[in-house]
Each structure stands twice: as C-alpha cells, then as structure tokens.
Amino acid sequence: MRWNDRIGRRIKLSDLHILLAVAQSGSMAKAANQLSVSHPVVSRSISDLEHVLGVPLLERSRRGIELTAYGRAMLNSGHAAFEELRQGVKNIEFLSDPTAGEVRIGTTSALAASFVTAVIERLVKRYPRIVYHVEVDSGDVRVEQRLQERRLDLLIYRNFPAVVEDQPSFEPLFQSPYVVAAGTKSPWMKRRRIELRDLASAMWVLPPPDPDNPFGSFVIDAFGACGLKVPRATVVSTGIEMRANLLRGGQYVSIFPEFWLQLPVRHPFVKKLPVELPVASGPIGIVTLKNRTSNPVVQRFMECAREVAKLLTRKNCSSC
C-alpha cells in the first residue's frame, strides 16, 4: 500500500488525538467524557486506526484498556507528530512577531537558581515578551525523559554519564567544579590550605550518599579517592538553599557547584575553601534531541547561554 493510501489520506489527526486520550485515561468512556464526544465516536476512531494500520492498538485487561506494542509505537509517533505541529505553529508566531515566543528548559535546582537565571535575566532585557518554562529535575520529574517525550526544548545539565550519555546531543558550555564551602564566619576561612581529611570531623551538611544520584555519587567518589569514608553529616539534605542557609552561622561546611557561588551574582555569605577535591566533574552544557530543529526563540536562548558561559569562563580565568 502506498504512503498516500495508508497515511496521507486515511490517518486523521483527530483519531490520533483520541488514541492519546484513551491511553492517558485508560478508558474509552473516560476519554469520551474528556473530549466531550460520544463513546461510539471514540470506539469508531480507534477501530478506523486499527483497520488502516492492520494491527490491534488496544487490549482489555483487569486494569482497563492498555496499549499493545503496536499501540505504544503509534502513541510515541503521535506525541512526536503533535509536538512538531506545535513547534510549527510557534515558528509561524515567531515569524509574525519575532519578539515573542516560549522556551521550555529542564535543569537542576542549582543551575536553575544560578546559570539559567543569569541567561533569562540577560534575555528579558532584550526580548521581554518571551515566556520561559523551567522544570527542575526531581525524584518525580526526570527532565531527560521529558526531553525525549519532546515536552522540553533543551536541558541545561552537567555531563553526568547517567544523564547525558544516552542523549543524542551535548554541547559543552563551561567547566565548573564542585568545591568545599563554608560561611564567611567560619574559622576554616582563616586557613590558606586545607586537606579534605582535615575536615573529616567537621560538621557537614551533605546530600544523601546515593550512588544512583549524580551529586551523591560525586561526594562518595571524592572522599573515596582520598581513602576516606563519607563523613557523618549533621544535616542530610538535597536542598541547596537549605545547605547554604545552615552555613551562614559559620559552624558547618558543605559541597557546592562553583557556578552556584558565582551566578547570578557572587554569594553574599558562602565562600569556597582552599580544598582540592581529587575527582573531576564534567562540563555544564546544552542537551538537545538530534535531528530536531529548534524554533528561533529556543535558538536565541542557546545563543545567550553561550554568551553567559563565555563571560563566566573569562571571569574565572582572570581570577586565576
């Protein structure tokens, strides 16, 4: 069967939309209610799709309606098709008004509060009508999966193998190591050189030492490379702002990415200590999907990210 006979004339976007609704709701009746159409309309659309493709897309189970392997393949393509159409509409909107649009960014909490903030602040002055949707990686929301689903335009992320290796495209922007830091009132600030083993008995604020978490894994490796166990933390938290606030009084030490201490401005009361960590950290960069054309607004965000990265690199070089 020719492409025009099977797809060009017979597969309807409305039928794909109904398949997506059924998959999300797990029921034809719920999908019909959600779409404000009748149950027979939903059933007929699914039947028409199955007839055109020649394979079953749905099967019934005790848990309701589930996608077959064919249905999952069609669903993935449907997501991509609707996303490309959405991008096409956004591109047309940009051509009609090049000062507006939106960009959807996935990142970590540390990068969101520092580097991504600096990029957005810079762009807002030039294009105040652009809207930024920033999703922060968490246990419930994995941004790399959202990128694969085309729900995000790009990621700003450190090149951790577990996150970036499986992604099609990584463009490095800048290097920024992890550093040991303390509050400006800390007695450790008076020392010109400190070995990591000197801090073994210090009061630490650390993330959970989880080998499956990129940051937790780095902490384990850093102490392990010095022949040390991860010290007992007085406070265990992934919240970077909480860790910083605990350092204000001067009694705690912690580990932060250096960029977080520098952007959007230098941190007022948390400073890095003269400690050499023996484990290198990967570069920060832009992760995108291969062969996916970014809309002009996303391209502007990436261009501005490169500008901020260059400024940060120059600043670090001048202070060496």
Q: Are 213 and 137 in contact (CB under 8 A)?
A: no
Give the domain 97-175+283-318 fold: D-Maltodextrin-Binding Protein; domain 2 (3.40.190)
Stated pTM of the model: 0.69
What integer is the mean pLDDT of 256-280?
A: 92
The DSSP line for 64-75 is: EEEE-HHHHHHH
Distance CA 105, CA 84 (A): 17
pLDDT digits (tens, 9 = 90+) for 211-247: 777 788 888 899 999 999 989 999 998 889 999 999 9
Distance CA 82, CA 86 (A): 6
Domain 3-78 in CATH 3.90.1150.10? The answer is: no
- Residues near 62 by Cβ (< 8 Å), separated by ≥ 6? none
pLDDT digits (tens, 9 = 90+) for 109-167: 999 999 999 999 999 999 998 999 999 987 656 788 888 888 899 999 988 655 545 55
Per-residue burial over 25-59, b = 16 or more CB atoms within 10 Å of its CB, e = otherwise: bebbebbbeebeeeeeebbebbeebbebbeeebbe
Does 295 score more than 90 pLDDT?
no
Residues of the chain with CATH 3.40.190.10: 97-175+283-318, 178-272
The pLDDT, as a whole number, for residue 120 is 96
CA distances from 184 to 230, 252, 317 (A): 24, 11, 23
Residues of the chain with CATH 1.10.10.10: 3-78
The CATH superfamily of 178-272 is Periplasmic binding protein-like II (3.40.190.10)
The fraction of the chain above a pLDDT of 90, given in percent, is: 39
Distance CA 171, CA 282 (A): 12
